[in-house]
Amino acid sequence: MIKTMNSKTLFTNLGLIDYKEAWDFQEQKFEEVVATKLKKRENPQSNTGTLHHLIFCEHPHVYTLGKSGEHANLLITDDLLKKIGATFYKINRGGDITYHGPGQIVGYPIFDLEEMGLGIKEYIHNLEKAIILTLAELGIASSRLDGATGVWLDANDASKARKICAIGVRASRFVSMHGFALNVNTNLDYFRYINPCGFIDKGVTSIAVELGPEQSLPQIESLLLKHIQQVFNLNLLNDQ
């Protein structure tokens, strides 16, 4: 269960940013949260509160492969990767391969899960819940899929099941990194070059595909932020 306390959380929107640059920024904030955590353990009487972080951004075209993923799920050569203007990184999150690109909301929560009273499974469950609630407010019915992380449409119909939001996280010292990628106006053609999240029999979709014309990214970011704040009981501070 989440503790009744409001977790003080700094929200930062980095806009369109290179993947490696955002990864370095995440690592910096992760180290700050861990350092605070260790100081509090050394001095339990300290009144120093943890400042959690929630980062939103977009990335130029990039494929990322989780530590347990199969490189074979990237279906193209280095030359074709360059031709389509994409980069590739093997990273330290869970999960297999996924794609990030313009028109996608990428979220990186850096939360002290122990302070929030969350285990890793409950943390992922709550990320999924916040996204499901956001989509519902937009008129899109979504759910979880047994045996897979993320948020899906028509999850109970194997012939129609398609992923709208990927989730891949890492937790060290019970502090989270990486996060989710919600397809809004995403160019889904880039998913043709991978087996998304290791699946060869599941499709992908976006909010724009489901609802029609191009969607307002700032509006959907606002809805998503609202639901994350509510689900995780965050006291949000804006770094703008």
Tens-place pLDDT, residues 99-149? 999 999 999 999 999 999 999 999 999 999 999 999 999 999 999 998 888
> What are the residue boundaries of the structural domains of the chain, listed by start?
7-238
The residue annotated as part of the active site, out of 131, 151, 197, 204, is: 197
Question: Is 197 considered catalytic here?
Answer: yes
Burial per residue of 41-69, b for 16 or more beta-carbon CB atoms within 10 angstroms, e otherwise: eeeeeeeeebbbbbbbbbbebbbbbbeeb
Query: Could you report the per-residue pLDDT of 81-90, keeping only the tens digit for each?
Result: 888 899 988 8
Query: Could you report the per-residue pLDDT of 4-31, keeping only the tens digit for each?
Result: 457 899 999 999 999 999 999 999 999 9
**Topology adopted by domain 7-238:** BirA Bifunctional Protein; domain 2 (3.30.930)
pLDDT at 55: 98
Q: Which residues lie across from 107 on neighbouring strands?
A: 56, 180
